[in-house]
Amino acid sequence: MDIDTRSEFVESWGSMGVLWGINRSMARIHALLLATREPLGLEEITEELDMSRGNASMCLKELRHWGVVRRVNLTGERRDFYIAEDDAWSMLFRIASERKKREFDPALSALQKVLASAGEEDDLVKDRLEELEEMLRAMDRLLQRFLASEGASRGMLKFLSAQIPYRSKKGE
């Protein structure tokens, strides 16, 4: 694959990462793995993306935690290698759910509390906040519809997992 094109993709994906709340390094690593056929080792990643081992290691740990990246062992290789999981949806799905829970839902319920306590005399405020609540609920529905589509595009699991000749490792 064209190397310039790939690095442009890596950087774009890095910028977009903030949209779903992951930092640039994580998103860049994820992009690199997505765009690469072969599993990559820490060495290759730090080299290609020009970042420290420590940072890369931490990012990979988190990416694995989100279920977005998997660690594999190649026969004859001592080092660890990493590949992107096949369903990129899961990243969005999990991270978005998490953020929704942490940031969205509290605001929604606070708003509903305000609404409940707004006396009838507060017409202006009440109308405005009702509109706001409607907006949040619209977002909620939209988000849910989006998240519900997770799994829709599964099924093309003709993926690396099996075909990479690898041996298992304890403590995985």
Task: Give the interface with DNA as residue ranges (CB under 7 A).
Answer: 23-26, 41-43, 50-55, 57-61, 78-80, 169-171
Q: Which does 168 bind (CB under 5 to 8 A by kind): its own copies, DNA, none?
A: none
**Encoding tokens for residue 115?**
């609404």
Q: Which does 15 bind (CB under 5 to 8 A by kind): DNA, its own copies, none?
A: its own copies
Please select the residue that binds its own copies; options are 50, 119, 162, 168, rule is CB under 8 A. Answer: 119
Q: Which long-range contacts (CB under 8 A, 24 or more apart) does 23-28 make?
A: 23/59, 25/49, 25/51, 25/55, 25/56, 25/59, 26/59, 26/62, 26/63
Is 98 an interacting residue with respect to its own copies (CB under 8 A)? Answer: no
Q: Which does 167 bind (CB under 5 to 8 A by kind): its own copies, DNA, none?
A: none
The residue (of 39 and 138) whose beta carbon lies closer to DNA is 39
How many angstroms separate the Cα of 100 from the Cα of each of 35, 106, 110, 141, 142? 29, 9, 14, 12, 12
Q: Which long-range contacts (CB under 8 A, 24 or more apart) does 18-23 make?
A: 20/91, 20/92, 20/95, 20/96, 20/99, 21/95, 21/99, 22/62, 22/95, 23/59
Residues lying near its own copies in the complex (CB under 8 A):
1-2, 5-6, 8-9, 11-13, 15-16, 18-19, 34-37, 84, 86-89, 92, 99, 103-104, 106-107, 110-111, 113-114, 117-119, 122, 124-125, 127-129, 131-132, 134-135, 138-139, 142, 145-146, 149, 153, 156, 158-160
